[in-house]
Amino acid sequence: MRCGVHAAQVSLLFWQTVAMVDDIERTLAGVGSRLRTLRTRRDLTLAEVSRESGISVSTLSRLESGERRPALELLLPLALLYDVPLDELVGAPEVGDPRVHIRRIPHRGGVLMPLSRGAGGIRVVKQILPPKAGERVELKTHRGYEWLYVISGRLRLVLGGRDFELGAGEAAEFDTRTPHWIGAVGDGPAELLHLAGPDGQRIHMPELDAPRDDGAGG
C-alpha cells in the first residue's frame, strides 16, 4: 500500500512539474514581441539598442523573433534601457496576490481597463468609449463570440446588416464571425464591460498585449 501511495505522489509531482514547465515556456514565448514593442515605441533601431545595452544586433534580432531563449543576463540590461520592471518585461504573473492591478490604456480616444489576467484566453475588459461625431463605421470579423454589458451611456452596435442601440443595463452576445462594430451615441461616453477571446482582443484591442510604458503618454 505504501508503495502505491509513493507512486501516486511521484506521478502527481511529475505532472505538477510538467505544468510548471509549460507555464514558464508560455511566459517566455511572449518576451520577444514585448521587446519589439518597447523598442519600436521608442523609435529605436536594433543597432541603437545594441550600442546602449552591449548586446549584439544578431542576438537582439533573435530575441525579438523568438529564436533565442531569453536569459537573465540579456533581459536585465534591456529592462534598464527601456525603464520597465523585469517581471513586466517577462509578463510573469504576481505570485500569491489574487488582485488584478488595473491599468488605464488609451484606446480610440477613450480608455481600456483590463479586469482579468486572461486565464483560458478570455479577458474581462471595462471600456470607456467617447462619442465621435462622424466616426466611420469599420466592420470587422474574427473567430469567437463576444459578450458586452452597458454600464452607463448609450452604445451603438452594428451587426451584419442590422443596427442596434443599447442603453444602461442592457447586454448583447454575438458570433464575431458576423461583421460588427461598436461606438458611443449621444452626448456622453458609453461605459461597458466586454468578455472577449484572444482573436477579439487581437483585432479590437491590440493595446492590451503591449507592455506598459508609463513614459509613452496616456
Q: Which of 177, 172, 207 is nearest to 193 (CA)?
A: 172
Question: Could you give the C-alpha distances from 193 to 64, 94, 114, 149, in angstroms and in order?
Answer: 33, 24, 10, 5
Is 144 within 8 Å of 176 (Cβ atoms)?
yes
**pLDDT number for residue 91:** 66
pLDDT tens digit string along 187-202? 999 999 988 777 776 7
Distance from C-alpha of 194 to C-alpha of 124, rounded to nearest angstrom: 6
Compute the average pLDDT of residues 45-58. 92
Question: Are residues 125 and 62 part of one domain?
Answer: no
Predicted TM-score of the model (pTM): 0.54
**Does residue 34 fall inside a structural domain?**
yes
Are 131 and 44 in the same domain? no
Largest CA distance in the chain: 75
Per DSSP bridges, beta strands 145-152 and 154-159 are unpaired
Residue 217 within a domain: no
> Do 139 and 70 fall into the same domain?
no
Q: Would you state the pLDDT for residue 9? A: 46
Asked whether residue 187 falls in the same domain as residue 111, the answer is: yes
Neighbours of 190 (CB within 10 A): 25
Whether the pLDDT of residue 14 is over 60: the answer is no
> Does residue 10 lie within any of the structural domains?
yes
Residue 159 sits in a domain whose CATH number is: 2.60.120.10
| pLDDT confidence band for 209 (50 / 70 / 90) | low
Which range marks the domain in which residue 142 is found? 105-209
Q: What is the pLDDT of residues 62-117, one digit of tens each?
A: 988 888 887 888 888 888 888 877 777 776 555 556 777 788 888 888 898 888 87
Contact 77, 89 (CB under 8 A): no
| CATH code at position 49 | 1.10.260.40
Residues 113 and 107: beta-carbon distance below 8 Å: no
Q: Is residue 100 part of a domain?
A: no
Residues 82 and 119 grouped into a single domain = no
Q: Which among 218, 201, 215 is positioned nearest to 42, based on CA atoms?
A: 215
- Which tens digits make up the pLDDT trace of 116-159? 876 556 778 899 999 988 888 999 898 888 899 999 999 999 99
Q: Whole-angstrom Cα distance, residue 32 to residue 71?
A: 12
User: Which residue type occupies 25?
Assistant: E
Query: Alpha-carbon distance 61 to 218, whole Å?
Result: 29
Do 86 and 113 belong together in one domain? no
Residues 158 and 196 in one domain: yes
Coil vs helix vs strand at 152? strand
How far CA 65 is from CA of 30, 31, 61, 69, 139, in Å, comes to 10, 9, 6, 10, 31
Give the confidence band of 164 by pLDDT, cuts at 50, 70, 90.
very high
Residues 115, 41: one domain? Answer: no
Residue 173: CA atoms inside 13 Å, Cβ hemisphere, count? 4
Flag whether 98 is in a domain: no
The reply to whether 96 falls in a domain is: no
126, 195: one domain: yes
Domain boundary among 34, 56, 90: 90
**Domain assignment present for 23:** yes
Same domain, 30 and 122: no
Q: Do 73 and 127 share a domain, yes or no? A: no
Going by C-alpha positions, the residue among 178, 171, 136, 138 that lies closest to residue 155 is 171
The answer to the question of residue 97 being in a domain is no
**The domain boundary residue, chosen from 41, 66, 90:** 90
Q: Are 111 and 42 in the same domain?
A: no
Domain count, the chain: 2
